[in-house]
Amino acid sequence: MSATMNAPISGSSTAPALFDLDWRRIGTWGGLCALALILVSLIGMPVGLDRRMIIEGRLSLGYLALLWMPLLFGYVVSKRVVLEGVETPDPGARDVLAGFCTGVLAGLGPVLLILGIDNFNLREPLVNWGPPLLEQLTFGRGIGFGIVAWFGIGAVLGLLGSALHVLPKDVRRVISFVIYGLLSISVLEAVISDLSEGFGLESLTDEMYARRGGLTVKSSVIVAVVFGVFSMLMKGRVKSATSRYKELQGEERKRASMMLFSGVAVLCIVLPLFLGKIVNELLANVGLFLLLALGLNIVVGLAGILDLGYVAFFAVGGYTTAVLTSAESPFFAPELHFGFALIVVVMMAGLTGLVIGAPVIRMRGDYLAIVTLGFGEIIRLLFMSDWLKPYFGGAQGITNVPPVDLGFAVVTGIDPRSVFYLVLIFCILAIYVSWRLQGSRLGRAWMAIREDEQVAEAMGINTVNAKLMAFVVGAMMAALSGAVLAAKVGSVFPNSFMILVSIIILVVVIVGGMGNIAGVLVGSFVLIGVLGGPRQPGLLQEFQSYKLLIYGALLVFMMLQRPEGLVPSARRSQELHQEEFLQDAWLKGEDHDTEEAAVAAAAGGSEETGEQA
Amino acid sequence: MSHLLEIRDLKVTFGGLDALSGLNFHVDEGEIVSVIGPNGAGKTTFFNAISGLVEATEGDILFEDESVLGLEPHQVTGLGIARTFQNVRLFPNMTILENVMVSQHCRTRQLVFGALMQTRAFKQEEREIRERAEAALGFFGSRLVGYRLEQAAFMLSYANRRRLEIARAMATQPRLILLDEPVAGMNPMETAELTGLIGRLRSEWGFTIVMIEHDMRVVRDVSDRVVVLDHGVPIAHGSYDEVSTNPEVIEAYLGRPVESRA
């Protein structure tokens, strides 16, 4: 059986004719690309982002928002499905032609849009339908030029995208490094100038960036060369370093981990000293949301309770801090020190966790999600209500939350660096708690409940208690985050605790990698740091108004392509890609008859393959 | 007089359907008892009632002379009744070791404090959990140990999943194990091996066993007694030889011969 499968499919080696293309595939991807171009144009990205320059005078972020698409679709359309054991024909002229056709088809999108805007007026429903967009799409040179240009651009970019497959691996590597390098250097302009200021290297950034933003032409060439050389030098280094790390055993590995850890720790402590306000503010926000995400990771990632009302605990933390420390608290204002307030915050969070958890925890799956969603809103509405206005100030919230006086330093919102340090402490605490609990009796019970609640119960786990525990631990982390937020902002309003916060944290956890601390870390940095939180701006401030769209698109993309998240836990990725995994193993293992042997081989275990015999 | 497990007039009703009615049954310490019967006879319902997953409508279930009715499933497990499932239900994304470690939950105590402080008691308990888990897995030879310990359970073959499920039940430190079709889907060689292991579960580990099984050779080889259920009613009871020649049992399985129909 397997012998025949391993043989290359006969006939595939003879090259088919150049024009014998998969037209259907080209049509699908080209059409999709055209639609995407129209959509992005109509939501206002090209016009809105045109101010931000990537390369001075040549390329703006607005055009970039359109141009990357034909390139990507060209790449995708000529991508081959590689099956192990089955011969894949080498990419060649046919693939490039396919990319070209896709690009031309994609160009049709903007062309139709140009003609449409020119001839009809749809301004009423479509706000961006108008002269600015037309001007942008035609490059300001008239309709005829625009039409020709878009077909041309589409064709060239599609061609380039697909040509990436034909290029040798090394060249491809250099190109991708150069592209990533240019993009990150120009997009991260704010951070880099901020950093260089901290190190006293302003002159370097003044040289690099144009006055009105964007790399100068000269510096972009230099950056490209630097990154190209860098990619050549780095070739294989990272991979060998990680594999060397993985091969380390026992003591040595422990030592290497300790060194890595202390390196990161020192970086975390020292780097903010050199960073300016903007970046520190950003880091503080990332920290706040990381704390939230770590808590939700325990509830959703470990215990499998899909809690959509998680923001409730965030709110409880914020309000408890505000009531206890602020002099403006309308009813009860003991004006405690932040440290004492924290103790009450943690207790209140635990209590709320129990109160909300107790009725909710008996439900399963979808029902639980809906009910927690309701509770999340109820808490916010309670804080906003007129009924509780004498206690919590209604929609005006509680203002004048004092900064945290630590004796040797004062943590206030005006100094984001101090906020970052404070939140860093809590994050480290939360990471430690998550890490230790994960490997304990309780953590195993949570995982068992996530896997199969009924069986977990039959195996002697008191599921109600264990789930309540998860709820409470998660609630405490969220409440700590809320407390820091209150001290940072100096006030709390019901509207800071919208249901959107819950959703965004959930996206952070899913995109990062559920049930995995490293995943949550990466997820918060990528999503909150780059795109920004519900109200907090991220690195890409220009994308502020498109943030939710990007979040949604990212979530859909991740669910389709990488459901295990950016940094998956090893096991989870095995499970989610089990089919491919088994298939590969099956194709590989000629002499193993049992499925088990195949799986064992795939897992890298070469032992006892014939045990069933 | 005192039996390990005693069931009195057990009746379980779903809607209007009596899944079990008037079941009387007992198991003594150290016995291996098989429960057989055609599909839909109520065998798994019987197990579910004992382990607390379904509620008994009438009657009583006594374990060591104490009623287990109304207890939560985890409390029943805590008393010393463990079970496996007919359609293997492991914790697929946990490692094999974790699967067996987690089932000792009701025998261990450490909570958050110990885990966070890494107290000596916590470390000691973790070590014991691990040792017991490895002992239970080691019962099945080299299949579930070694590099396999850290492998996710979903990667196991079907037969090994069944074995792991038994190991998981063993690790709850029960006195009574309920095995729901332990050899279903296994090939003859695996079946023969597992039959031997079931005997050793009693002789080496001291478990009392109640087993649902369709494979008559396994039933014959290991059980002291056999109970036959049909439509929720026990129709025969006795040694394998007695039961296998009982005309009522043959009828329940094969139907009545055509000529004798009225």
Q: Indicate if the pLDDT at residue B44 is higher than 50.
A: yes
Give the rounded percent of residues in chain A with a pLDDT score beyond 70: 88
- Which percentage of chain A shows pLDDT scores above 90? 38
**Tokens representing B210?**
């109640």
Q: Are A447 and B94 in contact (CB < 8 Å)?
A: yes
A329 and A467 in a single domain? The answer is: yes
Provide the token pair at A302: 């470990």
A607: chain B residues, CB-CB within 8 Å = 146-147
Query: Are A116 and A224 members of one domain?
Result: no
A444: nearest CB among B51, B98, B107: B98
- pLDDT bin (cut points 50, 70, 90) of residue A362 is confident
| B93, B119, B132: best to mutate for the A interface, most A CBs within 10 A | B93
Q: Are residues A183 and A126 in the same domain?
A: no
**What confidence category does residue A447 fall into, taking pLDDT thresholds of 50, 70 and 90?**
very high
Average pLDDT over residues A282-287: 92
Same domain, yes or no: A209 and A341: no
> How does pLDDT run across A390-433, given as a tens digit for each residue?
989 888 899 989 998 888 888 888 888 999 999 999 999 999 99
| Residue A593 pLDDT greater than 80, yes or no | no
A298, A455, A471, A476, best to mutate vs chain B, most B CBs in 10 Å: A455
- In order, the DSSP letters of B168-234 are HHHHT--SEEEEESTTTT--HHHHHHHHHHHHHHHHHH--EEEEE-S-HHHHHHH-SEEEEEETTEE
A454 and A418 co-located in one domain: yes
> Tens digit of pLDDT for each residue in A152-167?
999 999 998 888 888 8
User: Which residues pair with residue A111 across a beta bridge?
Assistant: none
Q: Is residue A176 a part of any domain in this protein?
A: yes
Closest-approach residue (CA) in chain A for B178: A458
Flag whether pLDDT at A316 surpasses 80. yes
Q: How far apart are CA A566 and CA A518, in angstroms?
A: 9
- Lowest-confidence segment of A484-493, B69-78, B111-120 by average pLDDT: B111-120
- Domain assignment present for residue A548? The answer is no
Q: Judge: A457–B74 Cβ closer than 8 Å, yes or no.
A: yes
Residue A15 reports pLDDT greater than 70? no
Strand partners, A344: none
More confident residue, A544 or A388: A388
DSSP A55: E
Residue given tokens 């029902």 in the structure block: A367
pLDDT tier at A434 (50, 70, 90 boundaries)? very high
Q: Check A432 against B83: CB less than 8 A apart.
A: no
**Quick check: A586 pLDDT over 70?**
no
B103: nearest CB among A443, A459, A600: A459
A458 neighbourhood in chain B, CB within 8 Å = 51-53, 73-74, 77, 83
- Beta-carbon separation of A612 and B154 below 8 A: no
Q: Is the pLDDT of residue A602 over 60?
A: no
Q: What is the mean pLDDT of residues B177-198?
A: 92
Q: Which residues of A touch B116 (CB under 8 A)?
A: 432-433, 436-437
* B106 → chain A, closest CA residue: A460
Last residue within a domain, chosen from A122, A137, A166: A166
**Is A436 in Cβ contact with B85 (below 8 Å)?**
no
- Select from A457, A599, A607 the Cβ nearest to the Cβ of B155: A599
Q: What does the pLDDT read at residue A583?
A: 56
How many Cα atoms within 13 Å fall on the side-chain side of residue A458? 26
Closest residue of chain B to A448, computed from CA coordinates: B91
Looking at residue A598, its pLDDT comes to: 44
Closest partner residue to B168 (CB to CB) among A451, A459, A461 is A459
When scoring A441, A476, A584 by the number of chain B Cβ atoms within 10 A, the one with the most, hence best to mutate, is A441
Q: Tell me what ipTM this predicted complex has.
A: 0.92
What chain B holds in terms of domains, given with CATH numbers, is 5-260 (3.40.50.300)
Query: Where residue A205 falls among pLDDT bands split at 50, 70, 90?
Result: confident
In a domain, A583, yes or no: no
Provide the pLDDT for residue A570: 59
Contact criterion met (CB < 8 Å) for A455 and B85? yes
Sign of CA dihedral B48, B51, B54, B55: positive
Question: In this predicted structure, what is the pLDDT of residue A208?
Answer: 81
Residues of A with CB under 8 A from a CB of B: 432-433, 436-437, 439-445, 447-448, 450-452, 454-463, 469, 473, 571-572, 574-575, 578, 594-596, 599-600, 603, 605, 607-608, 611-612
CA A384/CA A378 separation, integer angstroms: 10
- A457 plus A339 within the same structural domain: yes
Contacts of B157 in chain A (CB under 8 A): 594-596, 599, 612
User: What is the pLDDT confidence band of residue A109, given thresholds at 50, 70 and 90?
Assistant: very high
Q: A56 and A194: one domain?
A: no
| Candidate ranges A14-18, A327-331, A567-571; pick with highest mean pLDDT | A327-331
Question: What is the band of A587 on the pLDDT scale with cuts at 50, 70, 90?
Answer: low
Q: What is the pLDDT of residues B111-161, one digit of tens each?
A: 888 888 889 999 999 999 999 999 999 999 888 888 888 888 888 888 999
**With pLDDT > 90 as the criterion, what percentage of chain B qualifies?**
62
> What's the pLDDT score for residue A591?
41
Structural domain total, chain A: 3
Residue A43 lies in a domain: yes
B91 with A448: Cβ contact below 8 A: yes
- A198 and A295 in a single domain? The answer is no
Q: What's the rounded mean pLDDT across residues A520-547? A: 85
- DSSP output for A475-535: HHHHHHHHHHHHHHHS-B-GGGG-HHHHHHHHHHHHHH-TT-HHHHHHHIIIIIIII--SS
Q: Which residue of B has its CA nearest to A605?
A: B147
Please judge whether A445 and B83 are an interchain contact, meaning their C-beta atoms are less than 8 angstroms apart.
Answer: no
Q: Tell me whether residue A578 is in a domain.
A: no
- Note whether residue A382 is domain-resident: yes
- How many whole angstroms separate alpha carbon A278 and alpha carbon B21? 74
Residue A216 domain-assigned?
Answer: yes
Partner residue opposite B172 with nearest CB, options A432, A451, A460: A460
Domain boundary among A144, A166, A188: A166
Helices vs. strands in chain A: H and E counts, helices first = 28, 4
- Kindly state the average pLDDT of the residues B213-241: 90
**Which of B115, B156, B187 lies closest to A442 in CB terms?**
B115
Nearest C-alpha in A relative to B51: A458
Contact A130, A117 (CB under 8 A): yes
**pLDDT recorded at residue B155:** 86
**According to the model, what pLDDT value does residue B141 have?**
86
How high is the pLDDT of residue A603?
Answer: 46
Q: Do B108 and A578 touch (CB under 8 A)?
A: no
Chain B residue with minimal CA distance to A582? B155
What does the pLDDT read at residue B62? Answer: 93
- Assigned domain for A133 exists: yes
Domain boundary among A499, A515, A546: A499
pLDDT of residue A534: 84
**pLDDT confidence of residue A582:** 58
pTM of the model: 0.85
Residues A124 and A208 in one domain: no
Q: Residue B149 has what pLDDT?
A: 87
**Confidence at A369, pLDDT banded by 50, 70, 90:** very high
Inform me whether the pLDDT recorded for A522 exceeds 50: yes
pLDDT of residue A16: 60
The tokens for A306 are 């899909």
Distances in whole angstroms, Cα of residue B255 to Cα of each of A3, B217, B251: 47, 21, 4
CB pairs under 8 A between A and B: 134
Domain residue limits at A33: 1-8+17-166
Averaged over A342-348, what is the pLDDT? 95
SS3 call for A556: helix
Question: Alpha helices, DSSP H only, in chain B?
Answer: 43-50, 73-79, 96-102, 112-117, 120-138, 158-171, 188-205, 216-222, 240-244, 247-254
The mean-pLDDT minimum among A300-314, A492-506, A590-604, B237-251 falls in A590-604
* Residues A129 and A210 occupy one common structural domain: no
The DSSP letter of residue A209 is B
pLDDT of the residue at A580 = 57
The overall average pLDDT reported for chain A is 84
| Token representation of residue A141 | 């040179």
CB contact under 8 A, B93 and A437: no
C-beta separation of B231 from B199 below 8 A = no
Q: How far is B41 from chain A (nearest CA, A)?
A: 22
pLDDT of A306 > 50? The answer is yes
Same domain? A380 vs A305: yes
* Same-domain pairing of A176 and A82: no
Q: Is residue A314's pLDDT more than 70?
A: yes
pLDDT of A2 reads 42
